[in-house]
């Protein structure tokens, strides 16, 4: 733990020392955020989406798809736990024993009442700062998926449950969203 201007700044080493309480612990610019387990609908969406992404990625040998809880260590004071992320094959060696050591190509966050504001704001910004190219925000209530290009800093697509999703990272995935929601 570092102290800067009377503000407590937590580091990845601090996270490693905390007792496992089965919650997600994240650091954003050294600030600690704890999130309780998501609801079951959130988890259904997560497993459905992760399964389809993994199947697509594995069939094409594109890289690795991982799901929460898994740490992305963007820096010593920025450690995030997205719902799902994709690491390209050429960067797969960055997946280490306990964490991914750099920004993945794609991050997926599924909104929950306790995380929606943070997912849309500060996490969105931190992912962009560290080089995540594509960011999906899944809204379980609206049954939509937003695809953001973080390089150009813009929303590029909004898909609803009755549509098929394609994205810059996966241009031919043609994912039927009624299989996700």
SS (H, E, C) 109-140: EECCCCCHHHHHCHHHHHHHHHCCCEEEEEEC
Model confidence at 5, in pLDDT bands (50, 70, 90)? Answer: low
Token couple for 177: 């969203």
Average pLDDT over residues 135-162: 97
* CATH number of this structure's domain 37-179, picked from the four choices 1.10.10.10, 3.40.50.720, 3.90.1570.10, 3.30.470.20: 3.90.1570.10
| pTM for the predicted model, two decimal places | 0.91
b or e along 28-53 (b: 16 or more beta carbons within 10 Å of the residue's beta carbon)? bebebbebeebeeebeebbeebbebb
Average pLDDT over residues 57-78: 95
Q: What pLDDT sits at residue 4?
A: 54
Q: How far apart (Å, rounded) are the C-alpha atoms in residues 66 and 95? A: 10
Model confidence at 36, in pLDDT bands (50, 70, 90)? Answer: confident
For the chain, percent of residues with pLDDT exceeding 90 = 77
**Per-chain mean pLDDT for the chain:** 93
Any idea where the domains of the chain sit in the sequence? 37-179
The pLDDT tens digits for 157-176 are 999 999 999 999 999 999 99
Q: What pLDDT sits at residue 2?
A: 56
Model confidence at 38, in pLDDT bands (50, 70, 90)? Answer: confident
């Amino acid at each position: 733990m570092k102290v800067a201007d009377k503000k407590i700044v937590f580091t990845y080493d601090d996270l490693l020392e905390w007792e496992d309480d089965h919650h997600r612990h994240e650091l954003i610019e050294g600030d600690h955020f704890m999130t309780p387990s998501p609801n079951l609908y959130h988890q259904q969406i997560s497993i459905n989406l992760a399964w389809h992404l993994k199947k697509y990625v594995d069939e094409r040998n594109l890289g690795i798809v991982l799901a929460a809880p898994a740490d992305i260590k963007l820096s010593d004071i920025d450690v995030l736990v997205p719902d799902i992320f994709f690491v390209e094959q050429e960067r797969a060696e960055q997946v280490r024993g306990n964490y991914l050591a750099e920004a993945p190509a794609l991050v997926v966050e599924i909104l929950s009442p306790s995380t929606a504001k943070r997912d849309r704001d500060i996490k969105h910004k931190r992912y962009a700062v560290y080089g995540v190219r594509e960011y999906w925000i899944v809204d379980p209530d609206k049954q939509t998926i937003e695809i953001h290009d973080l390089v150009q800093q813009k929303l590029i697509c909004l898909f609803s449950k009755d549509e098929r999703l394609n994205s810059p990272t996966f241009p031919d995935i043609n994912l039927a969203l009624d299989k996700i929601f």
